[in-house]
């Protein structure tokens, strides 16, 4: 089993319910156990500001799925929950599921980059990741606690425990 961290985000169509449904689906993935999930955080959008705030969380999984198989399953969950890939970078979405970390692997393929290339720049990823694994070291980037210490997270608001 490999420990995997998944970033979750939503800002459309009842985001809290979108994340709850996604967490339930993650728990049903084959060859996978959901360890735990961070609290939910509200954050301002990255990119276009004329969209609602996001709700974000991070989930920890133990899986035997290969990285690209996991990615395919995550994208299927996104699609089931109404995700549209319309070309608007960082636009509003019903659900976004990102493979943040896949064990200590460094993956650079056309479909998947791990560690997630933007995670060190995203407080809404680092804070919930730190909640789950404060002593975690991110391959090639260093301890999550050090990365978080350099990040301004004043705009993050804890709104609830994940369901």
Provide the pLDDT for residue 158.
93
CATH of region 2-160: 3.30.70.560
What does the alpha-carbon distance between residue 111 and residue 91 come to, in Å, rounded to a whole number?
Answer: 20
H-only helix segments in 46-162: 67-80, 123-132, 144-149
pLDDT of residue 86: 67
User: How far apart, in whole angstroms, are the C-alpha atoms of residue 80 and residue 82?
Assistant: 6
> How many angstroms separate the CA atoms of 112 and 59, rounded?
18
User: pLDDT digit string (tens) for 102-141?
Assistant: 999 999 999 999 999 999 999 999 999 999 999 999 999 9
pTM for the model stands at: 0.92
- Residues carrying an active site annotation: 83, 93, 96, 98
93: confidence class by pLDDT, cuts 50, 70, 90: confident
Q: How far is it, in rounded angstroms, from Cα 103 to Cα 97?
A: 17
Beta-bridge mates of residue 10:
55
Instruction: Dump pLDDT digits (tens) for 41-60.
Output: 999 888 777 788 999 999 99
Q: Are the CB atoms for 97 and 62 separated by under 8 Å? A: no
| Residue 140: how many other CB atoms lie within 10 Å | 9
Is the pLDDT at 83 greater than 70? The verdict is no
């Amino acid at each position: 089993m490999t420990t995997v961290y998944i970033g979750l985000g939503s800002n459309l169509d009842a985001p809290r319910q979108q994340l709850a449904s996604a967490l339930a689906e993650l728990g049903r993935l084959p060859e996978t156990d959901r360890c735990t999930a961070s609290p939910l955080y509200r954050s301002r959008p990255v990119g276009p500001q004329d969209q609602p705030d996001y709700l974000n969380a991070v989930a920890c999984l133990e899986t035997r799925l290969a990285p690209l198989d996991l990615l395919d399953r995550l994208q299927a969950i996104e699609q089931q929950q109404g995700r549209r890939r319309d070309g608007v970078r960082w636009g509003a979405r019903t659900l976004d599921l990102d493979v943040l970390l896949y064990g200590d692997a460094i993956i650079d393929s056309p479909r998947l980059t791990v560690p997630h290339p933007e995670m060190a720049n995203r407080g809404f990823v680092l804070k919930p990741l730190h909640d789950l694994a404060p002593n975690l070291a991110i391959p090639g980037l260093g301890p999550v606690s050090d990365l978080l210490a350099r990040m301004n997270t004043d705009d993050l608001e804890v709104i609830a425990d994940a369901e």
